[in-house]
Homo-oligomer: A and B are copies of this chain.
Amino acid sequence: MGGRDEEAHEVHEAPEAHISAIRAVSAPARVAEPAEGISHEELALAARNHGLPLEALRYDLTPPGLHYVLVHYDIPAADADDWTLTVHGRVRTPLSLDMAALRSFPAVTHRVTMECAGNGRARLTPRPVSQPWLVEAVGTADWTGVPLRTLLAEAGVELNAVEAVFTGADHGVERSVEQDYQRSLPLADATADDPEVLVAYEMNGAPLPPQHGHPLRLVVPGWYGMAHVKWLRDIALTSTHFTGFQQTVAYRYRQSADDPGEPVTRIAPRALMIPPGFPDFMSRARVVRPGPVRLEGRAWSGHAPVTRVEVSTDGGQSWQDAELASMADRDGHVWAWRGWRTTWTATPGTHVLSVRATDAAGHSQPLDQPWNRGGFGNNLVQRIAVLCLPQGD
């Protein structure tokens, strides 16, 4: 049954004239010039994708329209009544499952914090040119579906399988390569029980919205967003390592164009603060009045539970521990963010607030930017400029 084994590895051998035509609209990766503002191309991505407005950190469960969204190509026109997921390659029994068949397996729900690997990219110097996230590409949802390991057990994975390759229905061009969006997971990750990978059909108890993968997506708790393949239509078990664009070209930690780099996998720890007070429309600077100000937000890590959150109100010179939501309150949501809070006594003048998280594995957040050419995994601490008004207003 391994006849289609290598299908996921097939490279579309386009004619030379096609490749040369496509190069005119599809540039190589680049880094912005020192004085270069955000380009119209970056803006076109920022206008269609969106982050979490930071005040929405108040919701433990992010409503779908506030959860960050990154779509590489177009949102496909997908019809749940017509959807089929195939499982093939190095398996004993290839599967072809419609939505009713998928819903007939016992359903599991996991609360998962998802973050784009490129979160923070637009704050880097020099700036990698791509979707220009500042710090807001995150969200938390309850995802319901079938554990991937259940489906793989049903199909019967052969002994020589090493990876599962996931194909979405979204189709486009990236750096001159025409492709369906594809990513793989090592078999050990694909079949683990914690974190347990889901083939999900519900978000917060409702069918997936179009932009979150309707009708079916992968959810890989603890991993950056690129692993959570949306509009999932095929899973191929392979006996060799997947070398597709999103695995070996994009989503690598590289220092230079010719550095092979390490793969981007799990989420580095990060804490975010709900910006206190109220904003200026244009500068987004915050304004508070003198006196006690509640500072609160959420913190997460894809490596291990967050065990410490520290807050600085003097631009990072000194740090104080914040109070963490108890682990008991989290109902076993170990792959979801954890609430934190503290109180700050604001005094007239300008202040810079920051927050940083540390997880049980000892990972924390840097105070200097962790630069790489793709702008991935940038968990530099958040900085919020706050103006405290004079007394007596």
Tell me the A residues contacting B by CB distance below 8 Å.
14-15, 17-18, 21-22, 24-27, 36-51, 53-56, 58-59, 63-67, 69, 71-75, 77, 122, 129-130, 132-134, 136, 171-175, 178, 209-212, 275, 278-285, 287, 348, 350, 385, 387, 389-390, 392-393
Contact = CB atoms under 8 A, between A and B. Distances in A.
B43 A134 contact: yes
A54 B71 CA distance: 12
A130 B171 contact: no
Nearest to A18: B393
Contacts of A66: 75, 209-211
Nearest to A137: B47
Nearest to A17: B390
A393 to B, nearest CB: 5
Contacts of A132: 43, 47
A69 B48 CA distance: 11
A74 B27 CA distance: 37
A77 to B, nearest CB: 6
B393 A41 contact: no
24 contacts: A15-B392, A17-B390, A18-B390, A21-B389, A22-B387, A22-B389, A25-B385, A26-B281, A37-B37, A40-B134, A41-B282, A43-B43, A44-B134, A47-B136, A50-B69, A63-B211, A65-B67, A65-B69, A74-B275, A74-B278, A171-B278, A172-B278, A173-B281, A174-B280
A279 B73 contact: yes
A8 to B, nearest CB: 20
A14 B211 CA distance: 44
B283 A27 contact: yes
Contact of A50 (B49, B77, B281, B392): B49
A24 B351 CA distance: 13
A130 B279 CA distance: 14
A174 B22 contact: no
B174 A282 contact: yes
- Most chain B beta-carbon contacts within 10 A, residue among A14, A173, A178: A173
A281 B27 contact: no
Contact of A37 (B38, B130, B173, B387): B38
A324 to B, nearest CB: 21
Nearest to A66: B211
Contact of A15 (B53, B77, B175, B393): B393
